């Protein structure tokens, strides 16, 4: 049955993904089921999206209620779910103003426009520069792609938007060397996800923040993957005692409903995008906003951060066993429930074996297995994952 669907998919869908050979059907908690009824322990959660676990009744009911009331209206009118979602998002992030988007990439687009507009108002001219990081990932639209530090993703689509320079993450001198009077923003992920799970070093974060303040440059932190509780903080930058000028969020923000946002400080908002500068038809519509609102309520009610902070050290210690136990497992790095296990060889085979044995894993680059489970996992789920993963590794030795 799955095979027939996969064949149809390959005839109908544009082949932009090398998909795993499975057709998923439904979810329950930390488990997914394929259309033949096989169960999978999910350590991917739709790539850091489904934080609350599948089939969460309160989340589903929140959406159903909103569907029966109002799914969409134009941003030319106010709607209560968007107002409530924005208020809650401000509270958990400590930022001042919210613009809802439909995706992460669009949140990055908005952040770039805001930074350019800020500098335009400041200097009275255009042509400003943005500094981004090598190995970064910010999305696939042209602006977001332009600040993505992976030439392979960009090459065929040149020219990118102009005036982007790339520095090295966690190498402050490399950033400083690129700063000029034209720099309007410095953008990076607080924890690089796609590029290999590299958390920002504290000293790097502090120095970049100080540089930004001194030179009136906007610090833009991409929290699309590492935000929403994943590192044990609502937003990963909150650990560093700094605040960005602009922040992007998406993925787990809607827990499955496509929604993102960029947020800014009041000062940035007062001196950047204004009426007519930016818009979106769907962004922050009542259904998406109701999802955000309910997700943020459930994070609090279900003590999601507490769970991350209690389970993550256990996951770390169990993964460290693998670093100690297998010579082809080189290192572990990450923060909270965003962890990477670095191999000396490509990990595709391990991931395929895990799939066979009922465990979903995903890579970050060719040599790293990325662990991004739902934020509601327990130690028992970690043990379950480890049993399967160890079987897969034993097959390799
Ligand atoms: C996934 C991701 C994006 C892009 O988000 P989309 O919703 O896929 O457009 C941007 N930045 C980071 C850090 C991401 O992980």
User: Which of ligand 1's atoms lies nearest the C-alpha of 136?
Assistant: 13
**pLDDT tens by residue, 27-52:** 999 999 999 999 999 999 999 999 99
Query: Measured in angstroms, how far is the CA atom of residue 68 from the centroid of ligand 1?
Result: 30
Pocket test for ligand 1, best of 45, 50, 111, 139 (most atoms within 8 A of CB): 139
Q: What is the DSSP string of 184-212?
A: EEEEEESEE-TTT-EEPPHHHHHHHHHHH
**pLDDT tens by residue, 289-338:** 999 999 999 999 999 999 999 999 999 999 999 999 999 999 999 999 99
Calculate the average pLDDT of the chain: 97
Mean pLDDT throughout 362-371? Answer: 97
Which residue owns the Cα nearest ligand 1 atom 6? 104
Mean pLDDT throughout 286-290? Answer: 98
Whole-number pLDDT of residue 134: 98
Helices 286-301, 80-93: axis angle to 10 degrees equals 40
Query: Measured in angstroms, how far is the CA atom of residue 385 from the centroid of ligand 1?
Result: 26
Query: What is the torsional sign of CA 52, 101, 244, 338?
Result: positive
- The answer to whether 375 and 230 have CB atoms below 8 angstroms apart is yes
* Eight-state DSSP code of residue 367: S
Cβ–ligand 1 contact at 224 (below 6 Å): yes
Which residue owns the Cα nearest ligand 1 atom 10? 138
Query: Measured in angstroms, how far is the CA atom of residue 308 from the centroid of ligand 1?
Result: 21
Cβ–ligand 1 contact at 139 (below 6 Å): yes
Cβ–ligand 1 contact at 291 (below 6 Å): no
Residue identified by tokens 């687009």 is 109
Mean pLDDT throughout 363-368? Answer: 96
Cβ–ligand 1 contact at 137 (below 6 Å): yes
Whole-number pLDDT of residue 395: 76
Query: Measured in angstroms, how far is the CA atom of residue 397 from the centroid of ligand 1?
Result: 35
> HEC string of 53-92?
CECCHHHHHHHHHHHHHCCCCCCCCCCHHHHHHHHHHHHH
């Amino acid at each position: 049955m799955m095979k027939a669907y996969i064949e149809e998919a390959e005839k109908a869908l544009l082949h932009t993904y090398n998909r795993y050979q499975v057709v998923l059907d439904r979810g329950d908690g930390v488990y997914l089921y394929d259309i033949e009824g096989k169960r999978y322990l999910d350590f991917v959660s739709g790539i850091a999206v489904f934080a609350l676990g599948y089939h969460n009744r309160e989340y589903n009911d929140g959406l159903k209620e909103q569907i029966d009331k109002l799914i969409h209206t134009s941003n030319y009118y106010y709607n209560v779910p968007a107002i409530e979602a924005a208020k809650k998002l401000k509270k958990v992030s400590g930022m001042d103003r919210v613009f809802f988007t439909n995706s992460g990439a669009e949140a990055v687009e908005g952040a770039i426009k805001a930074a350019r507009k800020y500098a335009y108002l400041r200097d009275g001219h255009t042509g400003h520069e943005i500094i981004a990081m090598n190995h970064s990932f910010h999305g696939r639209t042209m602006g977001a792609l332009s600040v993505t530090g992976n030439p392979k993703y960009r090459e065929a689509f040149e020219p990118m938007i102009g005036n982007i320079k790339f520095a090295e993450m966690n190498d402050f001198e490399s950033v400083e060397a690129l700063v000029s009077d034209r720099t309007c923003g410095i953008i990076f992920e607080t924890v690089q996800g796609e590029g290999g799970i590299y958390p920002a070093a504290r000293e790097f974060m502090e120095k970049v923040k100080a540089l930004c303040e001194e030179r009136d440059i906007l610090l833009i932190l991409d929290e699309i993957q590492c935000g929403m509780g994943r590192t044990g903080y609502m937003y990963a930058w909150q650990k560093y005692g700094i605040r960005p000028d602009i922040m992007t969020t998406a993925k787990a923000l809607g827990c499955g409903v496509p929604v993102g946002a960029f947020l800014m400080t009041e000062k940035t908002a007062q001196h950047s995008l204004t009426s007519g500068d930016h818009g979106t038809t769907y962004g922050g519509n009542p259904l998406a906003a109701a999802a955000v609102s309910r997700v943020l309520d459930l994070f609090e009610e279900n003590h999601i951060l507490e769970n991350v902070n209690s389970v993550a050290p256990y996951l770390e210690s169990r993964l460290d066993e693998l670093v100690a136990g297998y010579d082809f497992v080189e290192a572990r790095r990450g923060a909270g429930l965003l962890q990477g296990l670095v191999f000396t060889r490509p990990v595709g085979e391990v991931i395929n074996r895990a799939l066979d044995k009922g465990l979903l894993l995903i890579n970050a680059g060719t040599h790293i297995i990325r662990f991004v489970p739902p934020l509601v996992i327990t130690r028992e789920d970690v043990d379950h994952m480890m049993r399967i993963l160890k079987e897969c590794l034993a097959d390799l030795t």
